[in-house]
Chains A and B, each alone.
Chain A
Amino acid sequence: MSEFIPAFEWQRVMVEPWAENLSTTFWIVLMGFLITAACGLIGNYLILRRMALVGDAISHSVLPGLAIAFLLSHSLNTLPMFIGALGAGILTTVLIELIHKKTRVKQDSAIGITFSTLFAIGVILISFGQTDAVHLDAECVLYGEIAFVPLDLVQTELGPGALSVVEKIPGLNSEIFLNGNRLTIAPPSVIRMAVVTGITLLLIVVFYKELLVTSFDSGLSSSLGINSTVVHYALMAMLSVIIVSAFEAVGAILVIAMLILPGATASLLAHRLPPMFGITVVHALLSAVGGIHLATWLNCSPAGAMVVAGSVLFGLAWVFSPSQGLLRRWLGRELDELNEEELDRLAKGV
């Protein structure tokens, strides 16, 4: 078995990624963290709105949008990709609505039919254009190429004056950013993902009220004059943008895990949205770091390993959750017979 599962060498698995391959590791972890955080934040709302599987559908169906954008523009530039993904995302939402409103096919089948059709179109388009589409191949579709993220760095040469200034800034004076007189800014995909994550966070903060009310009680939101259809489509649009920015790194399917796992973990541990967002971000960080070590150890896909690490974190939350944990169930029913006061404390304490 040793050929298949390498021995766990502390030095190789835990130290070397940070000590020797710092610049590679750093960018992969950062990218993984940004993707999981953005997906997790918006995923919280998908879970609360019972739309987790719409997220599943959109993550599959951005593929034809990407493929068409690529075939038309012959580039992997941000703008055509975003437009393609937005178009595909909105198309998915509309098609699902259309099929299940206009016929007697139920919503679950409508979702299944829509995304499989669009995904199939995407795969075929990619197979046609495979010769020139370097970054868009079948493997990328499935699990992304997060390991390639650091290969494509935006660097700039610094003059002696600027160099001395930069060297004085403590954070920048490290091998991640500085190599001789060349200052690394960041891989473009990381920059894009950082912007998208920032915008997601900003929108969630700014429209906290509106998102909360439309998710909790659409009747009330309409009586308050908040148009829940607009909020719904805006959410879907944002979701498409996040998925497409993450696409190259983690592919179409692993991203579903990143949408759902952090929110599901948070829902086991917290009872209010703001702390849930906090847990989401922590979960994102831990799964990105855990994933890189797992991938180094087992020599497997880092994106897949990040999801596996995230699943392990979810499993831990499931076992140890104070309110719904398996441990609490196993410890016996006497916990259910706590008196009112203790229940109060439990409810507040978490």
Chain B
Amino acid sequence: MWVVLALVPESAWSAKIGDVAEESSLGQQAFRFLSFRDPSVRYAVIGSVMLGISCGLLGCFIVVRKMALVGDTLSHAVLPGVALGFLCSGVSASGLFDWSFEVANITKNPALIFCGAVVAGVAGTFLVNTLKQTTKIKEDSALGLTLASFFAVGICLLTMIQGLETGNKSGIDKFMFGQAAAIGEDDIRLMLGVTLLIVAVVFLFYKELLVTSFDAGFARSIALPSQWIHHGLMLLVAFAVVIALQAVGVVLVSAMLITPAAAAYLLTDRMHRMLFLAVGFGVVSGVLGAFISFLKPNIPTGPCMVLGASAVFAVAFFGGPRHGVLTRWWRHVSRSKRVQRENTLKALFQVLERRDAQPEESVSLKELAERRRETLDDVSGQASALKQHGLVTLHEEGNKILFTPSGWQLACTIVRNHRLWELYLTNEANIAPDHVHDDAEQIEHVLGDDVVRELERMLDDTTRDPHGRAIPGFADIHKPFAPSAPGPSGYGRS
């Protein structure tokens, strides 16, 4: 839809982005962008979308194959190719051996630049592989070396081009940090073609890519040519890098491969969801970057896109539902609160046990505080937390504490877990009885029902723990509960 729009020339709005930028306000610029009537805006947006799709798709495989820095190397290594492609446009051949080079003929020809860049990228990966195979140089050094050497050659060529007397060199410095506004109609056609190719290949070879990424050894064993798949993937990455160059620039294009995919990787465990998410993130950060650099034309597009992607990553890093740092921190906090509650319940149980009392009897907070070796304030705080969860009731102005049936059950379960684990460590793992308590303090909160069943099956006699105390059994947990409440009334029976 957009594509069709973009290809319709619209002379009234054909001024390049930035021309009007100086005089117009931010609001006007934003309106110009959002109204979408300017072809260069359309090109920029469509370009960013293509870029987001192709980089997002391939980035996922790059990230799961741990090749992020191969992508980085590849993206720097294309620079001499870009320069050569640019130069080649000045070559005209009138016969097989009759070539001439005219500086004046040099133009920014996307197809030539594309070819040059792909050749340079492939040469770079080839160099890395050869270095690894023939010398003892390790992969990281080989990558860094290739990256910087190719880049240096590119820099030399670029500075040489800048010394030439031609009016058409303006486009090429945009390849460094990217300028989405410099995307032209030819670029868009190329991007469209390459993106379609990438989508088609990923769609058709999804299985093969997945298997070789996950387990190359297995892939070989089922006769998949993983080497060729690897090379094919690298070629596609080279394609994606090259079409992204114009918008993001040589230096930062690898970020558009890595960052959206890594953010997606934090959010899901399924490869196909990761692909969709990464494409989404890539497109969003691409368009956002194009928008911002449109508002402030002296800011290159690449860094804006990259920061957009980094922002998405930061959100996933902190707030991801499963792996996010804040989420995990929150889970940790709520877990330690639960452990705290369970420990207080356990102490309550132990006070009653020592008294040889019934679960319906109340305990004073003072007793509980002595048992926990904590201050009265701490304990009353914990008691009100327990009350909030419906595990205990408080009486006599909060000085007496009383189990509810569910509280009693939980306390029994915890104590049972603790003592079963102690029994297991002593009987089955031969650990001295005086050592098992500390471990059990941790483990009692972790044991799941199935592990407890397994422990029960394994241990012959589960009535007494290694220290001779009774392990609360089924009968204790489901004791009929008739509180002879000392407090204001028939609490507890639900």
Least distance between B239 CB and chain A CB atoms (Å): 19
Interface residues of B in 127-180 (CB under 8 A from A): 131, 134-138, 140-141, 143-145, 147-149, 151-153, 155-160, 163-164, 176-177
Q: Which residues of A contact B156 (CB under 8 A)?
A: 294-295, 298, 300-301, 304-305, 308
Interface residues of A in 115-173 (CB under 8 A from B): 116-117, 119-121, 123-124, 127-128, 130, 138, 142-143
Cross-chain contact A127 with B298 (CB below 8 angstroms): yes
Secondary structure of the B contact surface, majority rule: helix
Cross-chain contact A261 with B145 (CB below 8 angstroms): yes
Cross-chain contact B147 with A123 (CB below 8 angstroms): no
Least distance between A18 CB and chain B CB atoms (Å): 21
Cβ of A106 under 8 Å from chain B: yes
Cross-chain contact B303 with A121 (CB below 8 angstroms): yes
Tell me the nearest residue of chain B to A104, going by C-beta: B323
Q: Residue among B103, B153, B155, B176 with the most chain A CB within 10 A?
A: B155
Task: Knowing A119-B251, A121-B303, say if A105 contacts B160 (CB, 8 Å).
Answer: no
Cβ of A226 under 8 Å from chain B: no
Cβ of A4 under 8 Å from chain B: yes
Cβ of B245 under 8 Å from chain A: no
Cross-chain contact B87 with A4 (CB below 8 angstroms): yes
Proximity bits, B326-369, A CB within 8 Å = 1, else 0: 00000000000000000000000000000000000000000000
Q: Which residues of A contact B135 (CB under 8 A)?
A: 268, 318, 321, 324
| Residue from the list A55, A102, A103 in contact with B144, Cβ < 8 A | A55
Q: Which residues of B contact A258 (CB under 8 A)?
A: 148
Tell me the nearest residue of chain A to B150, going by C-beta: A311
Q: Which residues of A contact B265 (CB under 8 A)?
A: 104-105, 109
Cross-chain contact A4 with B148 (CB below 8 angstroms): no
Least distance between A93 CB and chain B CB atoms (Å): 15
Please measure, in the bound complex, the distance between the C-alpha atom of A291 and the C-alpha atom of B141, giving whole angstroms: 22
| Residue from the list B71, B72, B134, B262 in contact with A324, Cβ < 8 A | B134
Cross-chain contact B137 with A116 (CB below 8 angstroms): no
Q: How many A-B residue pairs have CB under 8 A?
A: 212
Cross-chain contact A307 with B148 (CB below 8 angstroms): yes
Interface residues of B in 26-80 (CB under 8 A from A): 63, 66-69, 71-72, 76
Cross-chain contact A256 with B258 (CB below 8 angstroms): no
Cross-chain contact A52 with B141 (CB below 8 angstroms): yes
Interface residues of A in 11-46 (CB under 8 A from B): none
Cross-chain contact B252 with A257 (CB below 8 angstroms): no
Least distance between B123 CB and chain A CB atoms (Å): 13
Cross-chain contact A260 with B160 (CB below 8 angstroms): no
Tell me the nearest residue of chain A to B91, going by C-beta: A1
Cross-chain contact B152 with A308 (CB below 8 angstroms): yes
Cβ of B202 under 8 Å from chain A: no
Least distance between A282 CB and chain B CB atoms (Å): 18
Cross-chain contact B151 with A257 (CB below 8 angstroms): yes
Interface residues of A in 216-268 (CB under 8 A from B): 253-254, 256-261, 263-264, 267-268
Cross-chain contact A108 with B67 (CB below 8 angstroms): yes
Please measure, in the bound complex, the distance between the C-alpha atom of A53 and the C-alpha atom of B145, giving whole angstroms: 10
Cβ of B299 under 8 Å from chain A: yes
Least distance between B71 CB and chain A CB atoms (Å): 7
Stretch of B206-214, B306-314, B378-386 lying at the A interface: B306-314
Cross-chain contact B149 with A311 (CB below 8 angstroms): yes
Please measure, in the bound complex, the distance between the C-alpha atom of A329 and the C-alpha atom of B251, giving whole angstroms: 36
Least distance between B20 CB and chain A CB atoms (Å): 19
Cross-chain contact B151 with A53 (CB below 8 angstroms): no
Cβ of A69 under 8 Å from chain B: no
Cross-chain contact A116 with B160 (CB below 8 angstroms): no
Least distance between B46 CB and chain A CB atoms (Å): 23
Q: Which residues of B contact A304 (CB under 8 A)?
A: 152-153, 155-156, 159
Task: Knowing A108-B69, A259-B144, A318-B135, say if A142 contacts B258 (CB, 8 Å).
Answer: no
Q: Which residues of A contact B153 (CB under 8 A)?
A: 304, 308, 311
A-B pairs with lowest CB-CB distance, top 6: A257-B148, A116-B255, A307-B152, A304-B155, A120-B303, A117-B310
Please, could you name 26 A-B residue pairs with CB atoms under 8 Å apart, sorted by A? A3-B103, A4-B87, A50-B140, A53-B69, A55-B144, A56-B144, A104-B266, A111-B68, A112-B259, A116-B254, A116-B258, A117-B259, A117-B306, A123-B302, A124-B307, A143-B159, A256-B144, A257-B152, A260-B148, A261-B148, A300-B159, A300-B160, A301-B156, A307-B152, A308-B152, A324-B134
Can you add 13 more A-B contacts, CB < 8 Å, to A1-B101, A304-B153?
A47-B140, A53-B69, A53-B144, A106-B68, A112-B255, A112-B259, A119-B303, A127-B296, A254-B152, A268-B137, A300-B155, A304-B156, A307-B152
